Structure 1
Amino acid sequence: MTDYLKDALKKAAMFCAYQERTQQEVRDRLKDWGVIGDDAEEVIAELIQQNYLNEERFAKSFAGGKFRVKGWGKRKIKQHLQQRGITGYNLDQAMKEIEPDDYRTTLADLLTKKRQSIRDDNPLVIKQKLVRYALSKGYESDLVWQVVEGM
């Protein structure tokens, strides 16, 4: 490995150590640094071997974090992971990070909190606003309707 690649590897390792990254994010950053083609792939392969880069770990931490911190639903999390190039096995593992009981409870809590901010007396308008809000957060419509009807 040339000194040029060793420097790129060191910078990329620091980039990955700061927070979990996808291979595509690292590839884009390497391109910004002028490392392209086989050189970039060699650096990525070395990062994977040294465990700086692990897409399953990224997908799990991303899904868990977006669910716990931002209250996102599975549909929105899945969409964002796919935009980052995460598919198949890693995507399935990420979705398993979200416990079904926690998922429903979080949705109910979000809707209860949202209900307090809605200034309307018409029950149909309130339901409509709650459903629209939950769908925008990425929750599945059948689950949203079950929770809204149970409120």
Structure 2
Amino acid sequence: MIEEKTFQKIYSKALNFVSDIPRTRKEVLDRLDRYVFKLTLDSEDKYELKLSVLTLLEEDGLINDERYVRDFINNFKLSSKPRSIRKIKYFLFKKGITSDLIERELSLLEGSVETGNIEKELNKAVSRYSGLEGYQLRSKLTSYLLRKGYDGDMVYNVVDTFLGVK
């Protein structure tokens, strides 16, 4: 049986954790594991405590994975640092977001946003390879952008357009 005092202590720690910045369900669960690990409760009570704290946080609207993904993607669009869709997927997956939710939210994102990011990265990279021309320049630029995680077809189209090949 879980004491009210123990519940309030863990809940206040979790509340403090989610109050700073938006968190995903997985992040909060991982943090609750750290908080509950030190308690002298059996594993069933620990699980029940984590679940009840998590449920209460979700009911209060402090944890919402859909809102987290939507906000992250909106911040991505406004960010001055370009990122590929692949990097965004990896980051969100690492945060415990399901691939279905990631795909659904990213489908709302226009392809022109990623093309614009490729162009930003391309403009930065051109100065590095200023001594190269033709095939060597195209090869260096495309491999650089592909390493950044951008889609191959988009990279080739943008680089070819930039170099005047198309």
Matched, 1:9 2:20: no
Structure 1 residue 22: deviation in Å? 1.2
| Deviating more after overlay: 117-126 vs 26-35 | 117-126
Residue matched to 1:86: 97
1:87-129 per-residue CA deviation (whole Å, 9 max, x = no partner) reads 1442134314633223212211221221122243232222222
Residue matched to 1:112: 123
CA distance in 2, matches of 1:70, 1:63: 13
Q: Give the CA RMSD over aligned residues.
A: 2.1
TM-score normalised by structure 2 residue count:
0.79
Residue matched to 2:42: none
Matched, 1:54 2:64: yes
Residue matched to 2:52: 42
Structure 1 residue 51: deviation in Å? 0.6
| Deviating more after overlay: 103-112 vs 58-67 | 58-67
CA distance in 2, matches of 1:89, 1:132: 29
Structure 1 residue 150: deviation in Å? 0.3
CA distance in 1, matches of 2:5, 2:104: 37
1:17-44 per-residue CA deviation (whole Å, 9 max, x = no partner) reads 2111111111111111125412111111
CA distance in 2, matches of 1:95, 1:48: 23
Q: For residue 63 of structure 1, what is the amino acid of its counterpart?
A: I
CA distance in 2, matches of 1:34, 1:43: 11
TM-score normalised by structure 1 residue count:
0.86
Say whether the 8 Å CA contact 2:84–2:117 is kept in structure 1.
no
Say whether the 8 Å CA contact 2:138–2:159 is kept in structure 1.
yes
CA distance in 2, matches of 1:83, 1:76: 11
CA distance in 2, matches of 1:44, 1:70: 33
CA distance in 1, matches of 2:134, 2:15: 54
Bigger Cα Rg: 2
CA distance in 1, matches of 2:125, 2:145: 9
Residue matched to 1:30: 32
Q: For residue 57 of structure 1, what is the amino acid of its counterpart?
A: R
CA distance in 1, matches of 2:102, 2:157: 26
Gaps of 5+ in 2: 38-45
Identity of aligned residues (%): 26
CA distance in 2, matches of 1:43, 1:150: 54
> How many equivalent pairs are there?
151
Residue matched to 1:138: 149
Gaps of 5+ in 1: none
